[in-house]
Amino acid sequence: MRRAWLAAALCCALPSAAVTAQQRQVVIYRCTDASGQVTVQNDVACPPGTRQRKQVIDVPPPLPSYQPRDVRMPAVVAEERAQADAAIAAALPPPVPAAARQPPPPLFQCSTWDQQQYLTEEATPQERCAPLQVVGLDGVSPQGAARACQTVVDACQPVAAEALCQAWQRRVDEAEFRWKFAGAGAGDARRLEYEQLAATLANSACP
């Protein structure tokens, strides 16, 4: 009885193994008709009256499923995160007691030549190179013409005292967005920027 059961199990397993082996090969038929026109088809023989060329191609096995780096090397990733956390913690100012907190540093609302808005602590406006349109004597921009630009200064004005806390919160939120959506290689720098701005706001008298 036991031998009969083993034989039945092996018979049931053989078709599955055969299907697996067949799935790893693809038969390509190259068909040429009487006029010399060539068609290529998979797993279907050429129609009568055509010259057939058959080729069996081994299909490579499927690639292993992708695993993130923290799954493949959890210890290495954990050590890197611990080092990054320690470096950021060392770069942040210590907490300020609530009774000693002051208003946050001044901010300036600036606008670039192309109407891009940003907040900054820098009192001196930034200089940028605004592109100029190059035209010929006929008033048409020639193809391949050299690019030119003129230096323009951002337009900045100080944020009012009553709006300073709200502006700082917006700046912190924008820095958090840049950090969490930073490209490869920029995550640590963006996170440090966010953590420093958040610590400045937390140490201020803003609610």
Q: Concatenate the DSSP letters of all residues of 167-186 into one string.
A: HHHHHHHHHHHHHHT--TT-
Residue 82 included in any domain: no
21 plus 109 within the same structural domain? no
Residue 39 belongs to some domain of the structure:
yes
Number of structural domains (the chain) is 2
Domain assignment present for residue 79? The answer is no
Residue 81 in any domain: the answer is no
- Does residue 104 share a domain with residue 198? yes
Same domain, 36 and 98: no
What per-residue confidence (pLDDT) applies to 144?
A: 59
Rounded to an integer, what distance in angstroms lies between the CA atom of residue 154 and that of residue 143? 30
Query: Residue 18: what pLDDT?
Result: 44
**CA 190 to CA 179: how far, in whole Å?**
4
Owning domain of residue 30: 15-58
Q: What is the pLDDT of residue 137?
A: 63
The reply to whether 112 and 46 lie within a common domain is no
190 and 111 belong to one structural domain = yes
In a domain, 93, yes or no: yes
Do both 120 and 28 map to the same domain? no
Are residue 30 and residue 127 in the same domain, yes or no?
no
d(CA 187, CA 136): 46
- Print pLDDT tens along the chain (207 aa): 444 443 444 444 444 444 444 457 889 999 999 999 999 998 899 999 899 999 998 888 888 888 888 889 999 999 998 998 999 999 999 999 999 999 999 999 999 999 999 999 999 999 999 988 776 666 566 665 557 889 999 999 999 999 999 999 999 999 999 998 876 667 788 999 999 999 999 999 998
Are residues 196 and 103 located together in one domain of the fold?
A: yes
Is the CB of residue 107 less than 8 Å from the CB of residue 120?
yes
Q: Is residue 66 part of a domain?
A: no
113, 188: one domain: yes
Retrieve residue 45's tokens. 């023989």
Q: How many helices (H) and strands (E) does the chain have?
A: 5, 8
Question: Would you say 37 and 47 are in contact if contact means Cβ atoms under 8 Å apart?
Answer: no
Q: What is the pLDDT of residue 60?
A: 84
Question: 38, 58, 78: which is the final residue of a domain?
Answer: 58
Task: Examine the domain organization and report whether 95 and 167 are in the same domain.
Answer: yes
Same domain, 95 and 182: yes
